[in-house]
Each structure stands twice: as C-alpha cells, then as structure tokens.
Amino acid sequence: MNPIDYTIAVELLPRLIAAVYFTVFAAFLFQMKGLLGANGILPIQKYLTYLKHRLGLSRFYHVPSLFWINSSDIALLSVVWAGMIVSLILLIFNVYPPVLLAALFILHLSIVSTGQDFLSFGWEMYTLEITFNAILLSLSNPANRMAWLSINFLLFRFFIQAGAVKLQSGDKSWRDLTAIKYHYQTQPIPNAVAWYVYKLPMPFHKLSTLIMFIIELVVPFAMLGNETTRLGVFACFFGLQLAIYATGNFSYLNHITSVLSTILLGNVYLEKIGLHAPQPHLLAPAADNVVSVIALALIVLQAANLWNHFMPNAICARILNWVRPFHLANRFGIFAIMTTKRYEIVIEGSYDGIEWKEYGFYYKPSELTRRPRRISPFQPRLDWQVWFLPFETFEASEWYQMFLVKLLQGNQDVLKLIRHNPFPNAPPRHIRTQMYEYEYSDWQTRKKTGQWWTRKLLFTYSPPISLKKPQK
C-alpha cells in the first residue's frame, strides 16, 4: 500500500472527481430556482435571514457558504455555472488540481450548507469528504503518506459503516437476508430493471444480500494487502456499485464511490491499459510536514467517527461536532431500516372541490402505466424528498406545505419541477393529497394493460386546502 505504487491513480483521481462534480452542478441548473430561489419552495434568502438573527456572527462557522455575500437567484445560478466550468477545466486540462478541487469544495459546500431539506442526503457530505482528502492527496505525487492513509481509511470506513448500520438496526429483513427483495420495489426512485429483478426467486435475493454483506463487512480488510489483492477489492467494490446502479437511481452515490475506489488500482495494472506513470512532483519538506499534520488530523477525526459508530461516547461526539459544518468526517450508511411497503402521495387539484385532477411527477411513481426511468447520476430532488412524506405527518412537513402553496399560486419556477400540471391556464382553488400503497404489477397485468404498478387508496394525507381570498 505504498503510494509510490499508485501514482497513476493519484494523478487520475482529481479528473474523475471533476467528472462527477459536473453532473452534480449541472443538475441544479434545472432545479435551483424552483427549490431554493427567491420564489422557490425553501428560499435561501429567507433561510439566511433567519440564521443571521438567530446565530449572529457564528452563522459563518455553522453555515459556511458563499451565499452570505449574495443569495439572489443570479448568485445561486452563478455558483452552479462556476462549479460546472471549474469541473470542466479540471477534467479536460488537469491543471492546478489542488486549487480547482478546493474551489469545487467551496462551491459545493455553499449549496449543501444552505440547501435545507433538499440537500440532506449522505452523498453530498460524502463527496465533500472525498474532495477534501483529494486536495491533500493531489499536492504531490507520489502522495504524502498520511494523505494516502487518510483517503484509504475513508474508503474502508464507508463500506464498513454501510454494512454495520444494517445489522445494528435490528431490522429483521436484513438479518434474514430478504431486505433487497423489498428494496427493488420500495426504493425512492426505481428503474425498469428493478421491476424485472424483483420477480426473481427469493434464493437469488438472499444470496445477493449475503454477497453484499461480505463485500461491505469483510472485503474492506483486504485493502491492506498487496496490489493484486487490492485489485480484487476494487472488482468487488465496483461490481457492487454497478449492480446498485443497474437496479436503482441513487443520484451520484455509485459514481463517486466507484471513483474513490480507483485508489485501489496500482500502476502495474493501469499501465497495462495504456496509462503511464506521471513525472514525480514533490512538496518542500516544510509544506509536506504541514500536509502530514492536516492529514493526521483527518485520520483522527475518522477514527473518532468509527469509534463513535460502534461505541458512542461524548468525547468523540464533541470532537466530531467541531467539524460537522464542513463535513470532514461523516457517518455513513443508508437503508438501515428497510421499507417493506411502498407508500406514495398523489397530489390532486380542483376548481370546485368536486372534480379532482392529479399532478404528475417526472420520475417518482405516479401513473400506473408510466415506465420507471433510469436517471442516475441526475437527482430530481423534489421527487426524492416526496418519498419521505409517508414517514411523517403533513403538519410536520413545512417544506411540503410550502410546495402546495406554490401550486395554488401557480408559481412557474416550482411548476417546472413537475411533469404534468393539469391546470395549465389557471391554478386550482383547492388542493389535497391522497396516500396510496403501490405495488409492482404481475406479468399478466403488465402484458394485458401495460401497467407497471397497481395501487390502492389508503387515506387522505392532507385535507383540501385553499388560499385565503384577499379582503376587500
């Protein structure tokens, strides 16, 4: 695991990270105004005004963001465009990797820190942590030994924690190896492949779950081996991410994890596919010592995170809280509790309170005959957030209340986030939400009707609401 044997991977990593970042920022071009703009569902301007009065000067530490300077719609989109441009420069020309990676870190952190409900997913924090480690790694080649150890520790910890949370949760479906069977149907945004894989026999799903646990909880320890062993680890990690990508839509999580896994590929193998070891460039001893100290601090933070994961204690929690706003040592693991039934909200509007028409989302299940789409690494953040609604009450979901208000107002920025608006000429006077249970259709129904889904009405999630008429 000597960094001198991995100089090609060290040189390649910033460009691969930049490719992922381009998709991250590009996705915001179509969503930023409707989600976080001045007339969006959760305006950043209002959020920062609230934080300014609540936190005072400490707001710059707790919520690090360029939007403290300016949070207009132009500023929001400028950050998005800047992120895309910086990503392309690094990807195509590979110039000044530490500087451009630092710029991407700051730009992305600015959005994540202020994105509220719509940027509360683990892959945002995970990408920031990878980026910060990559900044240190790219300062020299061969890489600083402490920086090399830190980024390897990050990859190890990601898989170990991802597997551990599933068993620690006590969820029966993970322990009896049936969870992935449910997952294909209940994941936030399924694709068409998941419909077919769901039909496979239970032994296949149990074997898949067992293999996943082996890859997440056993294989990472082989990272300590030689280059051949680490190649095998890469094959396992990449294969798992490819399988998840093939059967689901998890934003850019699988992509950034695959990118990070390339640090397992030694020069001896990358040279066989035509890549060449770069010319060495080293830091001055004093600068190298500074990098070592920073990287050692990252290792300590990661160790505290891992310790706190398995044996929670106040000291580790306090240490991690100091750097939490910058996402330098994150807790990993999703779907600790597997959802075994699929609940979907359906939004309906009406002019008279008698005839109701459904709104249609772009990617989440709605119409029964609409084929599930493949969209990863793009993340439709409204569709994603709607998936969580069945797990909380309407009264507790402030963002969703604001979303419905925007629909009643006919807000064009917000309406662009949904695929079908049944009221193109004027917004409805009333709007309500129905809760359904969705299930995949069977082969016969699919062939006869073209339906990918069946559904049954459970209850009314939010009662009919309307805007107050202005008093004369």
* Per-position DSSP letters for 379-393, written without gaps between them: --HHHHHHHTGGGS-
Strand blocks (E) in 200-326: none
Cα 137 to chain centroid distance, Å, stands at: 23
DSSP letter string over 4-68? GG-HHHHHHHHHHHHHHHHHHHHHHTTTHHHHHSTTSSS-HHHHHHHHHHHHGGGHHHHS--GGG
**150 part of a folded domain:** yes
Same domain? For 184 and 275 the reply is: yes
**334 part of a folded domain:** no
**472 part of a folded domain:** no
Could you tell me which of 329, 288, 1, 353 has the C-alpha nearest to residue 137? 288
**Crossing angle (nearest 10°) for helices 122-137 and 285-310:** 150
Question: Cα(first)–Cα(last) distance of the chain, in Å?
Answer: 76
Which of 326, 350, 371 lies at the terminal end of a domain, its last residue?
A: 326
User: CA 218 to CA 222: how far, in whole Å?
Assistant: 8
Look at residue 136 in the predicted model and tell me its pLDDT: 98
Same domain? For 249 and 385 the reply is: no
Same domain? For 168 and 271 the reply is: yes
Same domain? For 39 and 118 the reply is: yes
Domain containing 403: what range?
A: 342-465
Is the CA virtual torsion 417, 18, 134, 261 positive or negative? positive
Same domain? For 407 and 381 the reply is: yes
- Whole-number Cα distances in Å, 369 to 342, 365, 387, 403: 17, 10, 19, 26
**336 part of a folded domain:** no
Q: Residue 188: what are its φ and ψ, rounded to 5°?
A: -55, -50
Same domain? For 303 and 387 the reply is: no
Which of 296, 326, 356 lies at the terminal end of a domain, its last residue?
A: 326
Which of 269, 296, 326 lies at the terminal end of a domain, its last residue?
A: 326
Same domain? For 321 and 263 the reply is: yes
Same domain? For 310 and 403 the reply is: no
Same domain? For 361 and 308 the reply is: no
Look at residue 468 in the predicted model and tell me its pLDDT: 77
**124 part of a folded domain:** yes
User: CA 469 to CA 460: how far, in whole Å?
Assistant: 24
Strand blocks (E) in 191-350: 342-350
Strand blocks (E) in 338-452: 342-350, 357-358, 430-440
Q: Is 332 left (phi over 0), alpha (psi -120 to 50) or beta?
A: beta
Tens of pLDDT along the chain (472 residues)? 899 999 999 999 999 999 999 999 999 999 999 999 999 999 999 999 999 999 999 999 999 999 999 999 999 999 999 999 999 999 999 999 999 999 999 999 999 999 999 999 999 999 999 999 999 999 999 999 999 999 999 999 999 999 999 999 999 999 999 999 999 999 999 999 999 999 999 999 999 999 999 999 999 999 999 999 999 999 999 999 999 999 999 999 999 999 999 999 999 999 999 999 999 999 999 999 999 999 999 999 999 999 999 999 999 999 999 999 999 999 999 889 999 999 999 999 999 999 999 999 999 999 999 999 999 999 999 999 999 999 999 999 999 999 999 999 999 999 999 999 999 999 999 999 999 999 999 999 999 999 999 999 999 999 999 997 654 4
Same domain? For 362 and 256 the reply is: no
**378 part of a folded domain:** yes
Tokens of 337: 């509790």
Look at residue 469 in the predicted model and tell me its pLDDT: 65
Tokens of 221: 């320890």
How many CA atoms lie less than 13 Å away from 430 in the CB half-sphere?
A: 13
**331 part of a folded domain:** no
Same domain? For 317 and 231 the reply is: yes
Same domain? For 239 and 215 the reply is: yes
**337 part of a folded domain:** no
Question: How many structural domains is the chain composed of?
Answer: 2
Output Rg (C-alpha) for the chain, integer angstroms. Answer: 24
